[in-house]
Amino acid sequence: MIRAIRAEWTKLVSVRSTAVALLAAFAFTVLIGYLSAQGGHGNANDAPQTVDHFSFVHRALDGDGSVTARVARQKDSAPWAKSGVVIKASTASGSSYVALMVTPDHGVRMLADAETEVTGGGATHAPVWLRLSRSGRGVTGYESADGRVWRKVGRLTARALPTRAQAGLFVASHGRNHERLAGPGNILGGFRPTTGQAVFDHVTLAQAGASAPGDWQLTDVAEAPVTHGPPVEIRTASPHPGTLRRDGGTFTVTGSGDLGRIGMAGVGSELHGFDRVKNSLSGTQFGLIAVIALGVLAMTSEYRTGTIRTTFSASPRRARALAAKAVVLASTVFAAGLAAAVTSLLLTRPIQRRNGMGPPLFPDPSLSDPTVLRTVVGTAAVMALVALFSLGVGVLMRRTAGAVILLFAVFLVLPIVAQVSSIGVNTWVNRATPIAGLAILQTIHQLGDAISPWGGFAVLGGYTAVALGAAFRVQGRRDA
């Protein structure tokens, strides 16, 4: 087998078309990815970076003290809806604060001035007890499952807390994007505000040496509208004000909005609809043009020139000869595909940042991220599978033109036709044909995705296995 692999490697590298095809695959993948990054523009660089908009039930806190409450129930209005306790310099949006909150999907979080975030380690959702204890500008957060045993979440320092601050309960719920497919690749959507609701009990506000004065008040902490710069807005709040209903020691509060900074405490999570990695590797489908040609020619060129007889004379066991050819072809294409994917990712990353699609709203893709690494390596693996699929088709058809035309129709023409047909046809093509393998490029789920990354990879793998299996069977039965 080693001798057969050496022979196939010698044949592959000695043919000029091999280097041309590999270089073309690399160039197409990188060039189209570069052009896609250049043509894409976002607004992450212009969008407001912080959000401070919520319903605030508060009383004055003079000097040191603490606020405690149990979040008995919380409406699952949004994954990052926030309900909890907060000590804030004033009711003005943008004033200094420290907040301790629970979310429906992301547990307990502590936040100071949209600059520092700490994750709790106890209860992951309501009911949960929360407490903030102030000493100067330093505020310590605690959480508890029963109100008796408390666990320290963290100690954060507020930017500017005056002696007389406001402390109490708050509720916020960020908006959600709603989308629908109007046609293949045509996504229509809009923004829909959400309204959060939380029920608090066991509410106490204590300050050193005295009881906190005054009664509880409800204030909508609302940000001033942006009146300058580009028309960019992170829309988080409903136009309807928050509400407070009190029944003895139980407070039912509703509100919308959000609290935090883009990339922190879930702010902007509803806007993460751009797949930077997929954009960087968008040239992969064009790179397959050269891969298909190389895979087909690896076999049909020997039939055309008659050198297949020499191959079988040197290696009478035809299955071994074909297996060696497959190993050499797949490993060579995989290496070229991996180089192209890494180059395209690194080349397009700064371009995307300059075009407004960068951190913190769109984090930089890193090869240390398992999802990004899966996509990059998977892209190279898909190219290798397409090369093997093309090799199998080349064995079965033995004619370069016919095999190439058939494969171009499957990987290039059919997806284009599906794009201008119907949602059902487009979904079927991207789910049930070999083109499904390109789903490996996805790093985030988007509306219109026909199949999961590994599901699409498995579909392509199945087609490749069938083509190669048929090739082995046919080649062993017919004359050279």
Residue 123 sits in a domain whose CATH number is: 2.60.120
196/281 same-domain check: no
Residue 278 CB partners (closer than 8 Å, separation 6+): 375, 441, 442, 443
The encoded tokens of residue 441 equal 């490029």
What is the pLDDT averaged over residues 197-220?
Answer: 83
> Do the domain assignments include residue 346?
yes
96-122 mean pLDDT:
91
Is there a single domain that holds both residue 121 and residue 265?
A: yes
Average pLDDT, integer, range 198-216: 80
- Residue 353: CB atoms within 10 Å: 18
Residue 353 confidence (pLDDT): 86
Count CA within 13 A, CB hemisphere, residue 315. Answer: 21
Residue 480 is assigned to a structural domain of this protein: no
Q: Which amino acid is at 336?
A: A
Q: Which pLDDT value is given to residue 226?
A: 42
- How many angstroms separate the Cα of 272 from the Cα of each of 256, 363, 437, 445? 20, 10, 24, 10
The number of folded domains in the chain is 2
Q: From residue 210, how far is each of 64, 65, 66, 85, 141 by CA, in Å?
A: 10, 9, 12, 20, 21
- pTM, full prediction: 0.72
Of 270, 299, 333, the last residue of a domain is 270
Determine the Cα–Cα distance for residues 294 and 277; give it in Å rounded to an integer.
26
Handedness of CA 314, 316, 317, 319 (dihedral sign): positive
Q: Which among 218, 251, 270 is the end of a domain?
A: 270
pLDDT of residue 461: 96
Domain extent, residue 331, equals: 2-42+274-475
pLDDT tens for each residue of 82-98: 999 999 999 999 899 99
